[in-house]
């Protein structure tokens, strides 16, 4: 694919954000390793939740990472997405309370997109990401797929890209995404993602 970006700085209009997005993929299953969960932590496939319930966890995980796609989506569209037969949802639970989300999208034949993967703030850095990813990949490769892929951007946790590579993903493409700043429209509070400048 031929890009249209030129070398040098490109101004971003006020009210907009620009982020560098990296596509990563794996084309064969990683070595089998059973997740080692701490006491009280479980990984569970769930039935499609109501949009409001889904967004509560989505916000708890992604507010400071500027996750916005599911906040902008109409309830009817989100409900249809979550209930699609080729979409699987999982929660990581601590003593029955959701602390992590995995969403797998199998709608493209032979391919699994790891659409969402994350932990609520306060649970990162506690050794849960690796076993949760192992569980997610076990679920993904239990289907007849030849590729599992995801994308991450520089708004994500600073360790995210290296983590995905350690888990067996390799970067294959870089894109630049420009979007409306969700803190200006009220989708997210103005104090969200303090590491990303707010210019209005």
Give the model confidence (pLDDT) of 60-103 as tens digits: 999 999 999 999 999 999 999 999 999 999 999 999 999 999 99
- Residue 2 — pLDDT band, cuts 50, 70, 90? low
Predicted TM-score (pTM) of this structure: 0.94
Chain segment 3-39, per-residue pLDDT in tens: 678 899 999 999 999 999 999 999 999 987 788 899 9
d(CA 181, CA 187): 9
- The β-bridge relationship of strands 111-119 and 170-180 is unpaired
d(CA 151, CA 62): 14
CB 91 within 8 A of CB 46: yes
Least confident of 32-41, 156-165, 178-187: 32-41
Q: What is the pLDDT of residue 29?
A: 96
For residues 100-128, average pLDDT: 97
Average pLDDT of the chain to the nearest whole number? 95
Q: If DSSP states are collapsed to H, E and C, what string results for 95-145?
A: CCEEEEEEEEECCCCCEEEEEEEEECCCCCCCCCHHHHHHHHHHHHHCCCC
Q: Which domains does the chain have, with CATH numbers?
A: 16-180 (3.40.630.30)
Q: Which pair of tokens denotes residue 26?
A: 């794996």
d(CA 162, CA 177): 21
For residues 162-175, average pLDDT: 98
CB 163 within 8 A of CB 129: yes
CB 190 within 8 A of CB 198: yes
d(CA 119, CA 121): 6
For residues 70 and 158, the model is more confident at: 70
Residue found under tokens 């104090």: 191
């Amino acid at each position: 694919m031929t890009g249209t970006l030129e070398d040098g700085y490109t101004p971003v209009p006020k009210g907009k954000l620009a982020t560098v997005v990296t596509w990563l993929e794996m084309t064969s299953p990683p070595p089998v390793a059973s997740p080692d969960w701490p006491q009280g932590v479980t990984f569970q496939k769930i039935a499609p939740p109501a949009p409001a319930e889904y967004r509560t966890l989505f916000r708890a995980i992604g507010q400071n990472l500027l996750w916005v796609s599911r906040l902008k989506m109409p309830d009817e569209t989100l409900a249809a997405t979550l209930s699609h037969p080729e979409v699987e949802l999982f929660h990581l639970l601590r003593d029955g309370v959701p602390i992590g989300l995995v969403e797998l999208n199998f709608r493209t034949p032979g391919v699994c997109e790891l659409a969402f993967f994350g932990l609520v703030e306060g649970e990162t850095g506690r050794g849960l990401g690796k076993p949760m990813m192992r569980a997610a990949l076990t679920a993904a490769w239990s289907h007849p797929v030849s590729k599992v892929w995801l994308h991450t951007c520089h708004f994500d946790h600073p360790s995210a890209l290296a983590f995905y590579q350690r888990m067996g993903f390799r970067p294959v493409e870089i894109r630049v995404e420009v979007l409306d700043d969700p803190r200006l429209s009220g989708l997210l509070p103005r104090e969200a993602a303090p590491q990303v400048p707010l210019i209005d």
